[in-house]
Amino acid sequence: MARRWLDYKTGAWVQWCPGCGDFGILNAIYGALAELDIDPARLVVVGGIGCSSRSVYYIKGSNVHTVHGRAIPVASGIKLANPELTVIVTGGDGDLLGIGGNHFTALGRRNIDIAIFIYDNAVYGLTKGQAGPTLPLWVKTKALTHPNIQGNVNPLLLAFAAGYTFIARGYAYHVNQLRGLVKAAILHKGSAVVDILQPCPTYNDFMTQEWYEKRIYYLSDEDPSWDPVIRSPEDVKVKAPRILEKMLETGDRIPLGVFLQDLTKETMEERLDKVMPGYLKTPPAKRPIDVKGRIPLHPFRIFKDKLLET
């Protein structure tokens, strides 16, 4: 019996402001999970701190609410300890690219099979609207006393440089299209990131719904032959220039869709199984560590390099 989106909705009151883009993202995630028919008990949603990280309360799962910026390391530990679980991370641009930027970069190098959803509204909501790492230079939102004097990071380029194997951008209010991106990110074997543009009606009066909707368009609408899938090392050489060109496109036109899906890189889990055959069968969470409570091992039988017969 297939699950419905309601099977992923908890009874919790969703505390986001009216008009918040997070609702669109949440609905897209519900829909994607239902289409994938993932058992909520086998789903782990890991959140950092911030409005968006509270998704851990609204999505039914075996979830973890961590500390600010640190969802990715916790999610990585979970996935490596039990690769059978579906692990997703929900966080804001401040959480994942500001305070957590180091972890965001490191995940790309590892290619652990985790999907990252950046609720990207360019501001810090819970702490009253400070500039987020994706807020453009010189923008002055009404929450800021002065224009932003720090530049913005491009999440897609950062993900590309870090080695993410699935990179996409969505828009919070295009729930149907976003559902497709979320689903593809979860299905992708490897580290996936979806940068989800969303208005923050309370604090970001610059990047509003109207502002976004004037600019966004879908890559595949503009170019029906758009194919971001890397199937061989040669594909990278052929496709990377166009991919990077699209990632760099900002300002008046903001492209959405899948920018890159690299099928050539093995996941960290596969690498571990290569180094330690059997890892996937008995990963750290499932490996027996005793025999009926006893330790059947003795250092003198194992660590022979340290022994000396006198």
Partner 1 sequence: MTGLTVDLNIIIGGPQGGGVESAGQIALKVFTLKGYNIIGTREYHSNIMGAHSYFHIRVSDNTPRALRLPVESLVAVDAESLLTHVNDVAKGGIVVYDVGSVDQNALTLAPMEHSLKKRIEKMFSERGARPTVSEAIKLLEERGVRTLGLPLKELLRKTSEETGALLASIARAVNIMGLSAALHVLGVEFPYIVKAVEAQFGKRPKILAPNIAAARIAVEYAREKYGSGNTLPDGPHKGRVRMIATGNEIVAMAKIVGGLTFESFYPITPSSDEAHYIEENKYLDVGGDFKEAGLDKLSIVTLQTEDEIAAIGMALGAALAGARASTTTSGPGFSLMNEFISMAVEAEIPIVISLWMRAGPSTGIATRTGQQDLLHAIFSGHGDTPKIVIASGDHVEAFYDTIKAMNWAEKFQTPVIHLLDKYLASTSVSLDEWDLDPSLVEIDRGKRVYGPVKDYKRYEITEDGISPMAPLGFNTMIINSLEHDEYGFVSEDPIDREAMVLKRVRKFETISKSIPETEKAVLHGDPEARVTIVSFGSTKQAILSAVEELGREGVKVNFLQIRVLSPFPKDLVSKVLGRAEKVVSVEANATGQLAFLVRAHTGHSVNHVIQKLNARPLYDVDVVYGVKRIIESGVERVVVSSGS
Under 8 Å between Cβ of 44 and 87? yes
Q: Which of 106, 144, 216, 254 binds partner 1 (CB under 8 A)?
A: 106
- The pair of structure tokens assigned to 226 is 């758009």
- Alpha carbon of 130 to those of 21, 66, 127: distances in Å? 18, 21, 7
**CA-based nearest residue to 148, from 162, 133, 128:** 133
* Residue span binding partner 1 (CB under 8 A) among the ranges 50-58, 128-136, 170-178, 212-220: 50-58
If one asks whether residue 6 binds partner 1 (CB under 8 A), the answer comes out as no
**Judged by CB under 8 A, which of 2, 224, 252, 294 binds partner 1?**
294
13 lines the binding site for partner 1 (CB under 8 A): no
Closest contact distance (angstroms) between CB of 15 and partner 1 is: 9
Quote the least distance from Cβ 102 to partner 1, whole Å.
Answer: 5
The reply on whether position 183 binds partner 1 by CB under 8 A is no
If one asks whether residue 274 binds partner 1 (CB under 8 A), the answer comes out as: no
Minimum distance, C-beta of residue 310 to partner 1, in the bound complex (Å): 5
Q: List, as own/partner pairs, every contact residues 182-186 make where C-beta atoms lie below 8 angstroms and the sequence separation is at least 24, other chains included.
A: 182/28, 182/29, 182/31, 182/32, 182/115, 182/117, 183/32, 183/35, 183/36, 184/258, 184/261, 185/115, 185/116, 185/117, 186/32, 186/33, 186/36, 186/38, 186/86, 186/88, 186/115
Interacting residues with partner 1 between 77 and 96 (CB under 8 A): 77-82, 84-85
| Pair 191, 287: CB distance under 8 Å | no
241 binds partner 1, rule: CB under 8 A? no
Determine if 44 is a binding residue for partner 1 (CB under 8 A): yes
CA 155/CA 170 separation, integer angstroms? 12
Q: Which one of the spans 183-191, 196-204, 244-252, 268-276 is the region binding partner 1 (CB under 8 A)?
A: 268-276
Note whether 70 binds partner 1 by CB under 8 A. yes
Asked if 283 is part of the footprint of partner 1 (rule: CB under 8 A), the reply reads: yes
Of the candidates 204, 212, 210, 211, the one whose C-alpha atom is nearest the C-alpha of residue 141 is 204
CB of 270 to partner 1, least distance (A): 13
Running DSSP on this structure, what letter comes out for residue 306? G
- Given the complex with partner 1, which of 241 and 277 has the nearer CB atom? 277
Supply the angle between the helices 101-110 and 155-162 in degrees, to the nearest 10. Answer: 40
Residue 309 makes contact with partner 1 by CB under 8 A: yes
Write out the two tokens for 229: 């899938």
Encoding tokens for residue 82? 């039990």
* CB 81 to partner 1: min, Å: 4
Among candidates 76, 119, 67, which has minimal Cα distance to 94? 119
Single out the residue of 25, 34, 75, 167 in contact with partner 1 (rule: CB under 8 A).
Answer: 75
Which span (57-65, 133-141, 175-183, 189-197) binds partner 1, by CB under 8 A? 57-65
Residues that bind partner 1 (CB under 8 A): 12, 40-42, 44, 46, 54, 56-57, 60-67, 70, 72-82, 84-85, 102-103, 105-106, 272, 275-279, 282-303, 306-310
